[in-house]
Amino acid sequence: MRRIPIIPLVIIIFFSFIAIFAPYISPYSPYEMALDDRLQPPFWQAGGSLAHPLGTDALGRDLLSRIIFGSRLSLLVAILALFLCGVIGAGIGIISGYLGGRVDIVLMRIADSTLSFPIILFALILMVAWGPMLSNVIIGISLVLWARFARVIRGEVLSLKEKDFIAQARIVGCSSVHIMAYHIFPNILNTLVVLLTLQLGWVIIVEATLSFLGAGIPPPEPAWGSMTADGRNYITTAWWLTIIPGMAIMLVVLAFNLIGDWLRDILDPKLRQV
Amino acid sequence: MTQLLLEVKNLKTYFFTRRGVVRAVDDVSFRLYRGETLGLVGESGCGKTATGLSLLRIVPQPAGRIVGGQIIFDGEDLLGKSEKEMRQLRGKRIFMILQDPMTSLNPVFTIGNQVFEAIKVHSNLPKTKVWSQAKEILRLVRIPSPEAIISYYPHQCSGGMKQRVVGAMGFSCKPDLLIADEPTTSLDVTIQAQYLRLLKEIQQWSQLAIIFITHDFGIVARMCDRVAVMYAGKIVEMANVGEVFDKPSHPYTVALMSSIPKVEIKEGKLPTLPGQPPGLHELPPGCSFFDRCAYTEKKCEAPPPLEEVGHEHWVRCWRHE
Amino acid sequence: MTLFFTSIVVFVLSRASGDPIALMVPVGASIEEEARMRSVLGLDKPYTTQYWLFISHAVKGDFGKSLRQRLPVTTLIAKRLPNSIKLASFSMLLCLIFTFPLGVIAAVKKDSGIDTLAKIVAILGQSMPSFLVGILLIEIFAVRLGWTPSSDIGGIDHYILPGFNTGWFLTAGMVRLLRSGMLEALDSDFVNMARIKGVSEMAVVWKHALRNALIPVFSFGGMYFAILITTSIVVETVFSWPGLGRMVYEAIIGRDYPIIQGVILTAAAMIMIVNLIIDIAYCYIDPRIKYGD
C-alpha cells in the first residue's frame, strides 16, 4: 500500500477551499477595475506591493482575486461534467453490458463513433453553436467523454455477469433492473471512481483550452484559460499574467492526476493501461 | 562410477522486501551425482523454486540476493563467476524447466525461432546447421512433424507440446544438470506419464543429473533416486527414496506422506495437514514446523540442526538426536 | 455506417453553430441584401435539401465552397492538410526518439534516476495544457534565447517548437504505456526462460521483452497520430501554423459551414482509415491475432 501522496492532497484541498470560500477570502472583486494600477507586477518584484500580491492585469484587476474565482469555474465544470459523464457512462455501460444483444451492439456503435471524435473540436463547435454558457461547457464535455466510461464499465460488467452471485439473483427471481442496480452497480463503483479521478485532470485541461481559444465563458468572468490567452499580449512586459494562471491550471491538474494514479493503484490496478 | 556433479553448501538466498527479509533458501546443503535424480519436495512457498533459480543465479533482483554459501558445480564455485561466464553455463551445462508451459514461451516468436535461439546462443554453426539441429531435437522429444511445428506460434500448441518444446530447448546443448520445476503440474495425467518417461529415457543415455522439484510423492517414487524435503526454506529430511518411504522420520514428511490418497482407503476422511506454512519473513525462533507438529517438546523452541540418523539419511528434528 | 452517422452529426452541428449571414453581412444591410446573400449561398433552401446537396456532393469529393472565401473547400483542405501532416509526423518522430530509450530503460532500471525522469516526463506531459507549454516554449526559446522562430511554417527550425509541444504530450502517454508493458514483460516466465537459455541481457530486454511491450504502444501511437493531424487546433493557433486545425478553428468562429463539415468529415475518415491500418498491422505484430483463437 503506497503512502498517501500528501502534497497533491494538500493542493486539492487548498484549491477546493478557495473555490468554495472565494467571496470571503478574495481581497478584491474579480471584476473591479483600477486603471491607475494597471499591470502591476507581483509583490516579490520591483514595483509590486502586497496590496496586489500577484499583480494586476491590463484593466487593473487584481490577479489573485481572479485566480481565486477562476478556481470556482474550473472545479465546478470538472465536477459537474464528470458527474454527468459518470451517470451516463456507467448507466449505458451497465445496460449495454448486462443486456447484451442488439441493445449492446447499437449502444456501443454510438459510443464508438463518439470515441473517434476529437474532443476539443466537438466542444468548440458546441460552444460556438449553443453559446458560451457554463451549462453548455459541461454538457459538451460530457457528451464526448461518456463513451470512454461506458466502454470500460461495460467490460467490467461483462466479466461480472458470469459470476455465480448474479446467477443466484436470477434464480431467486430478481428483475434485470434490480440486478443491475443492486448487484452490478456496487461492484463497478471501484472502477468508476478510479476512472472519474483519472479524467478530472483532463477535463480541467479541456475547459482551460476552450476558454483559451475563446470558446469558454466570456469575459469578464475570470477563467484561467482565457486569462492565459489575454496575458499573451503582454508576455514580455507582464509575464505574470500568463504564467500564473497557467501554473494554477498545471498545479491542480497535476495534483488530480497524482491522486488519481494513487487511487487506481489501490482500488483497481487492472486499469493500468487506461 | 558416479561422479559428484554438484555440491551445494550452506546456500542462503534472501529476498529483501518492505515487509521484512524473506529467507527463501536458508542454509541449504546437498549433493548431486551425475545421472542421479534428486527430488526436492515441499508445499508451495517453501523455497524449492528459489533454490533452483539460485543455482542458475537468476534470482529476481533487486529484491532477491544470494547472501551466502557455495554452489560447486563440476569443481568450480558458481558464486565466484562473472555474469558472462554464467551466461555461458546457462542453457549449455545447466538448464531449468519452469512450471507453467503456457507462459514459458514468448508469444510473439515462432517455436522454431525460440529453439533456434537456444542452440545459436551456444554455438557458431551456420544457420542451416542450426535449423537441422533444431528439427532433430524436436524429433527427439517426440514432437510429431517438427517441420510444421517450427512455424507455429506458442498459442497454437497444447500444454504438453509446449512443455516438450521447452525440453527441446533444454536438451539441445546436452546439459549436465536439469532443474525441473514441477514440469508436469499443469499437464493432463496421461501426458504427464509420457513426459516423465521421456525425461527418464533422455537421462539414461546422457547421464543427465536432474533436480526434480515437486510436491507429488507419486512422481518422487517414480522418478527420483534421492529426496530432500524442504520446509520454510530449510531441508528437513534427506535420504534415498526407499529410506524415505520406509522410514519417514521428520513429522512433516510423515504428514505429507499420509495425505497422499491411497486407493485402499475406502472410508474415513483423507488426513490433511492442518495449518499453513509460516510466512518466510516471520519465521518462529525455534523449529519452523513447531506450530503444526504433533510431537513438540520443550527442546523444539531452539532450531534443530540437520543430523545423520541412518545411512545417508539426514533429519532436522530433535526427536532423532 | 459510422461515416453516415458522423455526417449527420456534422451537418446538424455546423448548422447549429449559428447564422453565418449575420456575420458576413455588413452592419446595417437591408433585409433584401441579406436574403440575396442567402440565396446565393444556397442557405435559403430547406434543411433537408441542403443536407441532400451536401451528401451528394461530398460523396463525389466535393465539399462545396467556403462561405467566406468563395473557394472550394476541397482546395482549401488540400492546401492545409499537408502542413498538418508534416507537423504531426515531426512530432511523432520526436516522440519515438524519446519514448523508446526512456520507456525501456526506465523499466529495466526500475526506481532509478531514469525511471524517475520518465515518470516526471509522463506526468507533466499529461498535466500541462498544451497551450501553456507552447507559450512557455515560445517565450523561452524564441523570444528570450532567440534560437528558433516562433511561428508559421518554414524550414526545419520552424518545426522544432511546435513539434516539441505536441511531441511532449504524445511522449507522456507512450512512455507510460511502454514502461508498464516492459515491466510486465520483464517479469514474465518467457523472459526468465530466455535468461535460462543463456541469452544476453541486452537481447532479453530489446528483443524478447520489447516485442511484447510494443503492441499496445503501437495502437496508441497510431490512433493518436490520426487525431493529431486533424485537430492540433491549439498548437496550430499558438504557433500560427497554417494547418487544418487552425482552419477549422477559424471556420467555427466564422460559422463557415462547408469548411467545418469538410474538415470534420475528412478527419473522421482519416481516423477510420488509420484505425483500419492499425487493425491490419496488428495482425502482423501480434501473432495471436493472426492465427487467432
The predicted-structure confidence for B126-143, as pLDDT tens digits, reads as follows: 888 888 888 888 888 888
Helix or strand (DSSP H, E) at B181: strand B177-181
User: Tell me, what's the pLDDT at C291?
Assistant: 59
The CATH code for residues B4-88+212-260+271-320 is 3.40.50.300
Which stretches does DSSP call E strand in chain A? Answer: none
Mean pLDDT, to the nearest integer, of B222-243?
88
Mean pLDDT over the full length of chain B: 83
User: Rounded CA gap, B166 and C138, in Å?
Assistant: 57
Evaluate whether residue A102 is within a structural domain: yes
User: Chain A: residue nearest C12 by CA?
Assistant: A129
In terms of residues, how long is chain C?
Answer: 293
Chain C contact present for A269, CB below 8 A: no
User: Rounded CA gap, B85 and C44, in Å?
Assistant: 84
The helix/strand count (H/E) of chain A reads as: 11, 0
- DSSP H helical ranges for C153-209: 156-186, 189-197, 201-203
Across C63-99, b (16+ Cβ under 10 Å) vs e yields bbbbbbeeebbbebbeebbebbbbbbebbbebbeebb
Helix or strand (DSSP H, E) at B177: strand B177-181
| Burial tier of B294 (Cβ tally within 10 Å: 0-12, 13-18, 19+) | exposed
Range of weakest confidence among A59-68, B277-286, C28-37, C79-88:
C28-37
User: Rounded CA gap, B161 and C211, in Å?
Assistant: 23
What pLDDT digit, counting tens, does each position of C186-209 carry? 888 888 889 888 888 888 888 888
User: Rounded CA gap, B229 and C121, in Å?
Assistant: 50
pLDDT band at A1 (very low <50, low <70, confident <90, very high): very low
Residue B274 or residue B90, greater confidence: B90
CB atoms within 10 A of CB B285: 9
Dihedral angle at the C-alpha atoms of C8, C12, C13, C17, nearest 10 degrees? 160
Chain A contact present for C248, CB below 8 A: yes
Tell me whether residues A212 and C139 touch, CB distance under 8 A. Answer: no
Evaluate whether residue A15 is within a structural domain: no
Write out chain C residues lying below 8 Å of A205, CB-based. 127, 129
Asked whether residue B269 carries a pLDDT value surpassing 60, the answer given is: no
- Cα-only R_g, chain A: 22
Range of weakest confidence among B60-64, B159-163, B191-195, B238-242:
B60-64
pLDDT band at C24 (very low <50, low <70, confident <90, very high): low
pLDDT band at B213 (very low <50, low <70, confident <90, very high): very high
Nearest-CB residue to C198 (from B98, B100, B121):
B121
Tell me whether residues C135 and A124 touch, CB distance under 8 A. Answer: no
* Range(s) of the domain holding residue A175: 66-273
pLDDT band at C14 (very low <50, low <70, confident <90, very high): low
User: Tell me, what's the pLDDT at C10?
Assistant: 61
Residues 6+ positions from A209 with CB-CB distance below 8 Å: A120, A225, C129, C130, C131, C234
- Cα-only R_g, chain C: 24
The set of cell numbers assigned to C44 is 435559403
**Could you tell me what percent of chain C has a pLDDT over 90?**
0
Chain A contact present for C4, CB below 8 A: no
The total of structural domains in chain A comes to: 1
User: Tell me, what's the pLDDT at B39?
Assistant: 92
Write out chain C residues lying below 8 Å of B155, CB-based. 287-288, 291, 293
Residues 6+ positions from C29 with CB-CB distance below 8 Å: none
Write out chain B residues lying below 8 Å of C291, CB-based. 153, 155-156
Which string of DSSP letters, residue by residue, matches A79-111? HHHHHHHHHHHHHHHHHHHHH-HHHHHHHHHHH
Closest Cα in chain B, distance from residue C206 (Å): 13
Evaluate whether residue A188 is within a structural domain: yes
Closest Cα in chain A, distance from residue C132 (Å): 6
pLDDT band at C55 (very low <50, low <70, confident <90, very high): low
User: Rounded CA gap, B31 and B72, in Å?
Assistant: 9
Asked whether residue A153 carries a pLDDT value surpassing 70, the answer given is: yes
Mean pLDDT, to the nearest integer, of A51-55?
77
Asked whether residue B268 carries a pLDDT value surpassing 60, the answer given is: no
CB atoms within 10 A of CB A263: 18
User: Tell me, what's the pLDDT at A271?
Assistant: 57
User: Tell me, what's the pLDDT at B37?
Assistant: 93
Which string of DSSP letters, residue by residue, matches C258-270? HHHHHHHHHHHHH
Asked whether residue C152 carries a pLDDT value surpassing 50, the answer given is: yes
Residues 6+ positions from B242 with CB-CB distance below 8 Å: none
pLDDT band at C293 (very low <50, low <70, confident <90, very high): very low
Asked whether residue B38 carries a pLDDT value surpassing 90, the answer given is: yes
Write out chain A residues lying below 8 Å of C124, CB-based. 254
User: Tell me, what's the pLDDT at A273?
Assistant: 47
At residue C151, the 3 state secondary structure works out as: coil
Q: Pick from A137, A258, B6: which is nearest to C123 by CA?
A: A258
Mean pLDDT over the full length of chain C: 75
What pLDDT digit, counting tens, does each position of A12-23 carry? 888 888 888 878
**Interstrand relation of B64-73 and B76-77 (parallel, antiparallel or unpaired):** antiparallel
Range of weakest confidence among A8-12, B49-53, B64-68, C279-283:
C279-283
N-term to C-term CA, chain B:
33
Cis peptide bond prior to B62, omega within 30° of 0: yes
The CATH number of the domain where A98 resides is what?
A: 1.10.3720.10
User: Tell me, what's the pLDDT at B227?
Assistant: 92
Helix or strand (DSSP H, E) at C16: helix C2-16
**Could you tell me what percent of chain A has a pLDDT over 70?**
93
Q: Pick from A61, A80, A81, A119: which is nearest to A244 by CA?
A: A61
Helix or strand (DSSP H, E) at B24: strand B20-33
User: Rounded CA gap, B146 and B143, in Å?
Assistant: 6
Q: Pick from A124, A54, A236: which is nearest to C135 by CA?
A: A236
The full set of domain ranges for chain B reads 4-88+212-260+271-320
Asked whether residue C64 carries a pLDDT value surpassing 70, the answer given is: no
Asked whether residue A187 carries a pLDDT value surpassing 90, the answer given is: no
Helix or strand (DSSP H, E) at B228: strand B226-231
Q: Pick from C67, C95, C57: which is nearest to C224 by CA?
A: C95
Ranked by mean pLDDT, the top range of B29-38, B305-314, C254-263 is B29-38
Asked whether residue C95 carries a pLDDT value surpassing 70, the answer given is: yes
Mean pLDDT, to the nearest integer, of B2-22?
86
All structural domains of chain C: 2-58 (no CATH), 73-285 (1.10.3720.10)
What pLDDT digit, counting tens, does each position of A200-240 carry? 888 888 888 888 887 777 777 888 888 888 888 777 777 88
Tell me whether residues A253 and C129 touch, CB distance under 8 A. Answer: yes
Evaluate whether residue A58 is within a structural domain: no
Closest Cα in chain A, distance from residue C129 (Å): 6
CB atoms within 10 A of CB A267: 16
Tell me whether residues A246 and C136 touch, CB distance under 8 A. Answer: yes
User: Rounded CA gap, C269 and B109, in Å?
Assistant: 34
Please answer whether residues C192 and B58 qualify as being in contact, where contact means their C-beta atoms are separated by less than 8 angstroms: yes
User: Rounded CA gap, C170 and C164, in Å?
Assistant: 10
Tell me whether residues A213 and C249 touch, CB distance under 8 A. Answer: yes
User: Tell me, what's the pLDDT at A8?
Assistant: 86
Q: What is the largest CA-CA distance in chain C?
A: 86
The set of cell numbers assigned to B141 is 522429444
Closest Cα in chain B, distance from residue C123 (Å): 25
Residues 6+ positions from C243 with CB-CB distance below 8 Å: C80, C81, C83, C84, C87, C232, C236
What pLDDT digit, counting tens, does each position of A84-131 carry? 988 888 888 888 888 878 888 888 877 776 766 677 777 777 776 677
In terms of residues, how long is chain B?
Answer: 321
At residue B249, the 3 state secondary structure works out as: coil
Dihedral angle at the C-alpha atoms of B189, B190, B195, B201, nearest 10 degrees? 130
Closest Cα in chain C, distance from residue A118 (Å): 7
